[in-house]
Amino acid sequence: MTSGPAQEPDGLMLFDGVCNLCNGAVRAVMAIDRDGAIRFTPLQTPYGRKLATLHGVDPASPESLVLLDQGRALTKTAAFAAILRRTPAPWRWLAIVDRLPRALTDRVYDGIARNRYRLFGRREHCVVPTDGQRARFLSEEP
């Protein structure tokens, strides 16, 4: 978790665009967050790679999604909880996961992340957003 330049977008989720689990998470967040508080960029785009590298995440082998949150890059449980805090109730209430022991929740997160391709599969290419979703995806610096 690092601080980045002030011009970075707030509420931007960097995710593994070829991971089926990660794409499912993006679809779930989009369905829950109808106001569009969270936007997305795959780590496989030049912009996603640049932001990941800036925050110490290997875009070729990501171990966590990243949420840019008020100038900070959050990963693992912290990112998951911050995403939930930006969603409407009752989903927001699930951010209580942030109050559980971080060593435990991050260990569970790491186990799922390590096995995500084996358990959920992967795609050859990033999913292309629909016209209705496109406004929530950033592929270049704003």
Task: Confirm whether 142 is domain-assigned.
Answer: no
- Residue 1 pLDDT exceeds 70: no
Task: Confirm whether 97 is domain-assigned.
Answer: yes
C-alpha distances (whole Å) from 124 to each of 17, 20, 130 are 10, 10, 18
Task: Confirm whether 31 is domain-assigned.
Answer: yes
Q: Strand 12-15 and strand 39-42: pairing?
A: parallel
Predicted TM-score of the model (pTM)? 0.85
Domain count, the chain: 1
Interval 75-132: pLDDT, tens:
999 999 999 999 999 999 999 999 999 999 999 999 999 999 899 998 887 777 777 7
Interval 3-45: pLDDT, tens:
555 467 899 999 998 889 998 999 999 999 988 999 999 988 9
Task: Confirm whether 40 is domain-assigned.
Answer: yes
**What residue numbers bound the domain in which 105 lies?**
12-124
Q: What is the spatial distance between Cα 76 and Cα 48, in angstroms, rounded to a whole number?
A: 17
Q: What is the spatial distance between Cα 119 and Cα 85, in angstroms, rounded to a whole number?
A: 27
